[in-house]
Amino acid sequence: MTKTTHSDLLLKNINAQAPFPICFADLEKAVAEKMEAGPFGYIRSGAGGEQTLRNNRAAFEKYSITPRFLQDVSSIDTSIELFGKVHPTPFLFAPVGMNKMAHDEGELAVARAADQLKIPYIQSTVSSYALEDVAQTAPTATKWFQLYWSTNEEIAYSMAARAEAAGFEAIVLTVDTVMLGWREEDVRNQFSPLKLGYARGNYMNDPVFTASLPDDSFESYVQGVLQNIFHPTLNWENVRELKRRSNLPILLKGILHPEDAKLAIENGIDGIIVSNHGGRQLDGVIGSLDALPNIVKVVNGQIPVILDSGVYRGMDALKALALGADAVAIGRPFVYGLALEGQQGVEKVMTNLYDELKVSIALAGATSIKGLRDITLLKDV
């Protein structure tokens, strides 16, 4: 239970000593001023003409709620349960690769923030720091490992096994990125963090990967990553084999079609992340929130459904939870916080989202996450 009566959640931000961007637009603007065009464009942009990036936001803007009052909202319970473990907030850190682009401490800083805030951390395959180093710096954080399949499948199994050994509690297999989306901003800026070596953290110390290289030069590592990271052969048999080889719950990330959600359940998958990769993969895809209701319907409570892509304020999280998501994952906002102030910046961004969510739950007249499902939502057509 969280008391909403302690101190005003908004006014604590009106403090001239430490102003920090309060919303996504301000945050993005501050980062645009600080970072170079290449890395900033990489993080900010969507694929193609950015229709999906816009769809993500538009989907949230289509919904309005009709609040209820006089319900005593002095105490609210924002906790959720995933795979038998209770978490104090309905947020997760979405897997974001190559965090050294934003800050030298990269994933280490984010994982420490996750530990501090008790928000589960999903580490990317293509992170700048190794998963073992993340585990060491954030030992008590709930950590999941996001797996990108590898052309050499043994590398994928090796990373999944390392994650399990290091105390990660779930594997998130991303299915929407068998190759990179058509990212025009990166071509414009002639920028590829993969080619610059930002993605090597988990590869440099992987015994299967390193054994496959001709030598241990920088070029060999980069070429090795490029040869393995794109994996268009990925198919349901791979999913079943991963499931057989791992003792951890397996989630699929990037599901948008209800039929794929159904197949996921038929194949023994333990959770789904509804996502369009923040509009970075196939452009012209529906907003992720628009995909949610049909997926929630077919899943029908059998496994957790998490949503990401475009959750930029507490009220967005509320809408996704009201539409049946069990949790929401945050991508770009925390990366921007990291770019501005490292671990502290990540904590400020996530705390802002959480504070706005608490205010929103209370003002909507609910007192728990599950209770949000009874909220009246109206969708513009």
Ligand X SMILES: O=C(O)C(=O)c1ccccc1
Ligand Y SMILES: Cc1cc2nc3c(=O)[nH]c(=O)nc-3n(C[C@H](O)[C@H](O)[C@H](O)COP(=O)(O)O)c2cc1C
Per CB under 6 A, 120 contacts ligand Y = no
Give φ, ψ of 206 to 5 degrees. -90, 120
- Taking the C-alpha atoms of residue 151 and residue 227, their distance in angstroms, rounded to an integer, is 7
- The number of CA neighbours under 13 Å toward the Cβ of 345 is 22
> Strand ranges (DSSP E) for 175-286?
250-255, 271-274
State the nearest-atom distance from the C-beta of 233 to ligand X, in Å: 16
174 binds ligand Y (CB under 6 A): yes
Q: What positions carry a catalytic annotation? A: 277
80 CB-near residues (< 8 Å, 6+ apart): 86, 87, 89, 90, 326, 327, 369
Closer residue to ligand X in complex, CB, 250/335: 335
* Shortest separation between residue 183's beta carbon and ligand Y, angstroms: 10
Residue 76's alpha-carbon distances to 120, 191, 311, 357, 375, in angstroms, are: 20, 45, 21, 11, 15
Query: Segment contacting ligand Y (CB under 6 A): 81-89, 214-222, 307-315, 356-364?
Result: 307-315
Site residues (vs ligand X, CB under 6 A): 97, 126, 177, 194, 199, 229, 277, 280
Beta strands in the chain (DSSP E): 2-3, 63-66, 75-76, 80-82, 85-87, 91-93, 121-123, 143-147, 171-174, 250-255, 271-274, 305-307, 327-330, 376-379
The entry of ligand X, ligand Y, none near residue 310 (CB within 5 to 8 angstroms by kind) is ligand Y
Nearest to ligand X of 82, 199 (CB atom): 199
Q: Does 55 bind ligand Y (CB under 6 A)?
A: no
Q: How far is the CB of 107 from ligand Y (least distance, A)?
A: 11
Is the CB of 158 or the CB of 276 nearer to ligand X? 276
User: Does residue 317 interact with ligand Y by CB under 6 A?
Assistant: no
Closest by CA position to 71, among listed 381, 368, 380: 368
Q: Determine if 158 is a binding residue for ligand Y (CB under 6 A).
A: no
- Smallest gap from Cβ 187 to ligand X, in A, equals 14
Exposure of 349 in the CB half-sphere (CA atoms within 13 A): 33
Q: Does 201 bind ligand Y (CB under 6 A)?
A: no
Minimum Å gap between C-beta 348 and ligand X is 24
Measured from the CB atom, the residue of 76 and 319 that comes closer to ligand Y is 319
Site string for ligand Y, 242-281 (x = CB under 6 A): -----------x---------------------x-xx-x-
